[in-house]
Structure 1
Amino acid sequence: MSGPSEEPSRSAHDEALTARAGGRTVLDLDYRPMFWDSPAAATAQVQKVLGQVTVAVGNREECEVAAGETDPDRAAEALLDAGVRLAVVKRGADGVLARTRTERVVSPPIPATPCNGLGAVDSFGGSLAHGLLAGWPLETAFARANAAGAIVASRPECLPAGGHRLVDTGDEEIDSVKHSGVPVVADARETLRELTVLLRGYRVPAAYRAEYTRAEAEWTARVDTAFRGTPIPDGLLSQSAVIGLVNELSDAQDVVVCAAGSMPGDLHELWRVRRRRATTSSTATAAWATRSRVGSGCGWPARTGTCSCWSATGRT
């Protein structure tokens, strides 16, 4: 629920939800105080949205902001009264409570040794969405969602500990503080130019280069499989197959700007860069994607740019 905290993101979300009317929509309550003037301001926006979604997911604090209740059962009841069909209350070490008007499911936590919690919530949400779309019983869907979160929480970060430091660069402070890295508020292009000078002549050890080559070949094979894709139940292409087609049909110098839920993450993972200077840019909302496309055009007028925004009704 960070998106509706201010314009133009708020209007973009309103339009997307209006277009989505009648479809299955999951709302992650995800209350982040730094984005809101007050809890009351967040409550007012959440209350407007709850009647437009079918599933709401949040922890006790987020449920209090959304529905005024911290007790899991009362919070679930309040969310159902607000219009959702499935209310999900995450209770930490007590597991997850899920309620509809006719069903109540408590899914116990999965014991795991925590290593790095980054992404565990996203993993839970992705697995839950898959289970709901697949038509699994709630008990099965939440058991597997809990397992997915536990698996991610028990794994190390993408960068191994010891001698490695992640530096996050962004032109705004909020974008530069991620993944427990060293935040650097700076223009990304200028940062890369300076790093290019500083790292000129550096070469990684031969053993690391060999390991990278092996891993790259394995990943290429996996991307090939993803790009071929499997049609989803309604007959449409899968998201990975769409990315593969855009990748194949675009030119090496094209700019692709994407804003659509999980697509930015898949784009960064699957996109094959044919020129090492090429980049992909992703933002959180359709409004920002359009602004990014305009910005890329101003920065390099001779380069062709494509802005793809996806909603419940398809490409816009």
Structure 2
Amino acid sequence: MSFSRMPILALCFPLFVAWLWAQDDQPLPRGAKPRNEGVTGAGEGPAWDRKGNLYFTGGNRITRFDSAGQTHTFRSPSGGANGLLFDFQGRLVTCEAGNRRVTRTEADGTITVLADNDGGKRFNSPNDLTIDSKGRIYFTDPRYGKRDSMEIRDDQGNLVEGVYRIDAPGKVARIITHEVDRPNGILVSPGDQYLYVADNNNNTVGGARKLWRFDLKAAGSIDPKSRRLIFDWETGRGPDGLKMDRKGRLYVAGGLNVANPPSETADKFKGGVYILSPEGKLLDFAPIPKDEVTNCAFGGGDLKTLYITAGGTLWSIPVNTAGWSLSGANQ
């Protein structure tokens, strides 16, 4: 090699290393495309367990999707199960929207009711949930559809679609009453620093379609004054379920491919997973061709596969950074 080329190589090598670093730092590998896993009934609630199985909900059942690509019914009927997570002991915690409660499946298969009322009034339809470092569970309680059976009201008589914290079976505290229009997806950040809440009032013209962040206090309550807008889907399909990778980036299911007038447009925010910085900058996007993109979860042995539920179908896409999981399995 000519020594005259050495200065050029010396200049080019750092640029090449920087380029490689930039590729690795991107949330999605270059050219990555979603894969249809070929299963049906994947409506919501994807959650990865420690044994390498993915669980999801839909059609009033909880389904287990194993490493061989086979599906098995875990529980049917499921009480209209929606959101799922595994706790520190590997037990499945379920938002039973139809039964209006949150339950835990014990190791022997028995069901423990963790929460089913707010001051003696039945919940609306528990939707999604998350867990903090102390094992406390937070869940959202919106109501989509008919509202005539809603029971929870504030001191002024207004209906409440709240966010709750479960400290132990039957010990429940409401931590958000009206700071969010219609809470849906929810996530506690590492170190219990923040609580992210998806505000998803899609079927109301002018309803909120925003992702909010609140400061989370040590006691498990939020500071209402800390509310910060992270991302706004404007008049499109708003945010649903969300997860976080080990670099703190948010993966949020949302958007719409075909408009749903008059309440939802589809011209700007297409259906898929929106990958955001912790401060709300859009970093990447994983398009999903099937509408009703509801939720996502990291899975695979290295937690570098993102599974997405959409309109009863299950999709997967590789990611560069492993998912963050507090409980040892994916939330």
Given the two structures, how large is their TM-score scaled by the length of structure 1? Answer: 0.29
Higher helix share: 1
Given the two structures, how large is their TM-score scaled by the length of structure 2? Answer: 0.28
Higher strand share: 2
With CA pairs under 8 Å and 6+ residues apart, which has the higher RCO, 1 or 2?
2
